[in-house]
Amino acid sequence: QQRVFSGVQPTGNLHLGNYLGAIKRFAELQDSYDCIYCVVDMHAITQDMRVWGGPDELRRNIREVTAAYLAAGIDAERHIVFNQSQVAGHAELAWVFNCVARLGWLNRMTQFKEKAGKDRENASVGLYAYPTLMAADILLYRATHVPVGEDQKQHLELTRDIAQKFNNDFGPSIAAQGLGESYFPLPEPLIGGPAARVMSLRDGSKKMSKSDPSDLSRINLTDDADAIASKVRRAKTDSEPLPSEVEGLRPRPEAENLVGIYAALSGTTPAEVLQQFGAGQFSTFKGALVDLAVAKLGPIGAEMKRLVADPGHIDAVLQKGGERARVLADETMRQVKDIVGFVR
């Protein structure tokens, strides 16, 4: 069976974009693939400590992302749920990939430019090397499919480039080890649907993000009904009524975003949403969106709160997942070491 790998950073403020673009889709893939879902704590510390919050906050957030996975219906018995730092192979393989990837490739990564901002000299080396660690996360399990939001598309392309260069550079060694013509698969991104890129509620040109300083920019998975209602009502929109055709949404990013969210939450398409709400008042549509969001997110938020209240259970899930992941990772690392020529 083909294998899925994906992850979410424990950097706090899990939001609707993380749910619709990633976690909800993780749950949907469980019947079709062997899945490995990781809480990527080593990625979380690439940003400034003020962003990830320090050790206590990190522990809390690792448990919260795990709780979100479970609350969204991910089955940690059938599939593997763990946190990245438990499996040393991620860091080991990332080092090999640091030596395969080229500076020019990393220099093109837009996430680094956005996160480093103007003060690039002060960004961590880890933030720069983030994409090679991400490639290692995926390829350590030789995953074939990776569900992510649209913002991670460029990193997935880099992962494929790294896999391909490794396969080429070490081609004769891979063959000599009896491992076939190429070792790593070129993983396919699974990106799509009306919520592949959920935008900020305050600015239709920016993606909804955990690290946005404005809490009004996002709907958090743990927001209660009042918070969801007030954020949706205050979401930035223009003053026109909704169009009846999707083409009419193109020049209106804020309206397009809310319609996309409604479509994703209701399992329909933007065209179907406009059939129902097109040409009507924005306020009517926003009211319906509040009801839908509360109905869909309320139970998940409540289950997350119930789960994080018992960290012992969550830690046991992560530990067991870590053990199962390590078995797969160790096998890859033995082969990678033989391919590269490290004596073990």
Binding range to ligand ATP, per CB under 6 A, among 4-12, 234-242, 255-263, 275-283: 4-12
Residue 196 Cβ, how far from ligand ATP at the closest point, in Å?
6
Question: For ligand ATP, which is the closer residue by CB, 40 or 339?
Answer: 40
Question: For ligand ATP, which is the closer residue by CB, 149 or 278?
Answer: 149
Structure tokens at 48: 């400034």
18 binds ligand ATP (CB under 6 A): yes
Instruction: Considering the candidates 115, 206, 231, 320, report the single residue annotated as catalytic.
Output: 115
Does 153 qualify as catalytic in the annotation? no
Question: For ligand ATP, which is the closer residue by CB, 68 or 294?
Answer: 68
How many residues bind ligand ATP, per CB under 6 A? 19
Cα 201 vs. chain centroid, distance in angstroms? 19
Residue 286 Cβ, how far from ligand ATP at the closest point, in Å?
19
254 binds ligand ATP (CB under 6 A): no
Instruction: Considering the candidates 210, 231, 236, 296, report the single residue annotated as catalytic.
Output: 210
Closest chain position to ligand ATP (CB) = 21
Question: For ligand ATP, which is the closer residue by CB, 93 or 198?
Answer: 198
209 binds ligand ATP (CB under 6 A): yes
Cα–Cα distance for residue pair 130/91, rounded to 1 Å = 11
Residue 94 Cβ, how far from ligand ATP at the closest point, in Å?
17
Give the active site residues.
Answer: 115, 207, 210
Chain residues that interact with ligand ATP, rule: CB under 6 A = 8-9, 11, 17-18, 21-22, 148-149, 151-152, 196-198, 207-211
